[in-house]
Amino acid sequence: MTELPARRLMLVHAHPDDESITNGVTMARYAAEGALVTLVTCTLGEEGEVIPPALAHLAADREDGLGPHRIGELRHAMRELGVADHRFLGGPGRYRDSGMFGTPANERADCFWRADVDEAASHLVAEIRQVRPQVLVTYDPDGGYGHPDHIQAHRVATRAVELAADPAYRTERDGAPHRVGRVYWNCAARSVVEEGFARLSAAGGGPFPELASIEDVPGVVDDAEVDAVIEGGEAEAAAKAAAMRAHATQIVVAGSPSGPPGSFALSNRLSQPLLHTEHFRLADGAQAPGTPLRDLFEGLVGTAGSTEGPR
Ligand SMILES: CC(=O)N[C@H]1[C@@H](O[C@@H]2[C@H](O)[C@H](O)[C@@H](O)[C@H](O)[C@H]2O)O[C@H](CO)[C@@H](O)[C@@H]1O
Ligand SMILES: [Zn+2]
């Protein structure tokens, strides 16, 4: 068995596009530093809207071909971020995109929202015990903005972290138990989001003139609630923008890669700032009190290039 890299980060997201929108800088940074970055995506995003008119035929209520198409978008985005380890929970298509709350897609027996949490978590336990991440990132209990698949991803990830550490749970199938060192929930510091909207407003908008509101941004919290901050440099910012552009059915990105922080819009055509700083709240595990960490692995494993092995 090949030796695992010293630092290992796992991210659990609901749809292809969430990882780039929310964690593009973080994934690009750690991948560039040689950490193992493992993305687990819970659905294929089959129920998404489609922005480019030429691809409208893929929509669920037409050819229902969006899921396979978004696998390709995600593969492209991973190349932009330098991330090589990507998995779909239970395999591609095991859990279908549940759609926004109140849509008929919520009623499908195969949708992620209707999945048994323990059964879905059992697939993630196998990934956790194989990768043995010191850090796992997912959403807060509201999924950041209340999408059923985001809420379910939170529930499944939380349950899987618990089961993966349990010596009485399926070690004959999945191998030795593994306790994740820290679990972080994605969030967004209010002051940073407000500054981003102020910048967009002064610039006259983003890909579209109408701006989203701060309430449309997932997981906005007061700055004091932020426990970790990952700041992107020019390379990470460019990689994040390119990865978001790869999700062309879902996202329109404005601004040049080397220019000032850009902006984007989803299929609702409401412009919002493309943030180069990503924020996290500590949900499980411990970290030194005081100012927010600038490295999710701080105190758990050595920094990039150090010889300290996994704990
Ligand atoms: C970022 C994210 O979670 N996107 C989801 C979301 O897409 C939104 C949805 O289609 C909504 O109706 C639009 O107004 C909004 O602009 C979209 O971003 O939900 C989709 C369906 O579950 C999902 O495929 C997409 O990845
Ligand atoms: Zn999503």
Query: Measured from the CB, is residue 177 less than 6 Å from ligand 1?
Result: no
In this predicted structure, the answer to whether residue 220 has a pLDDT above a threshold of 70 is yes
Ligand 1 contact, 250 CB (< 6 A)? yes
Question: Could you tell me if the CB of 15 is within 6 A of ligand 1?
Answer: yes
Q: Average pLDDT, stretch 300-305?
A: 70
Structure token digits, residue 136: 């796992």
User: For residues 44 and 3, which has the higher predicted lDDT (pLDDT)?
Assistant: 44
Over 50: is that where the pLDDT of 116 sits?
yes
Rounded Cα gap, residues 161 and 248, in angstroms:
32
pLDDT at 176: 97
What is the complex's ipTM, to 2 decimals? 0.99
Q: Which atom of ligand 1 is nearest to the CA of 145?
A: 3
Q: To which residue do tokens 């978004």 refer?
A: 70
Query: Residue 177, SS3?
Result: coil
Q: pLDDT tens digits, residue range 262-271?
A: 999 999 999 9
User: Closest ligand 1 atom to the C-alpha of 98?
Assistant: 22
DSSP output for 68-85 = HHHHHHHHHHHHHHT--E
Question: Percentage of the chain surpassing pLDDT 90?
Answer: 91
Ligand closest to 98 (CA) is 1
Model pLDDT, residue 259: 61
Out of 12, 13, 17, give the residue to mutate to test ligand 1, the one with the largest number of ligand atoms within 8 Å of its CB.
17
**HEC readout, 85-153:** EEEECCCCCCCECCCCCCCHHHHCCCEHHHCCHHHHHHHHHHHHHHHCCCEEEECCCCCCCCCHHHHHH
In which band, very low, low, confident or very high, does the pLDDT at 258 lie, cut at 50, 70 and 90? low
The residue among 204 and 309 whose pLDDT is bigger is 204
Q: Which two tokens stand for residue 157?
A: 């990830």
**How much is the mean pLDDT over the chain?**
95
Evaluate: CB of 43 within 6 angstroms of ligand 1.
no
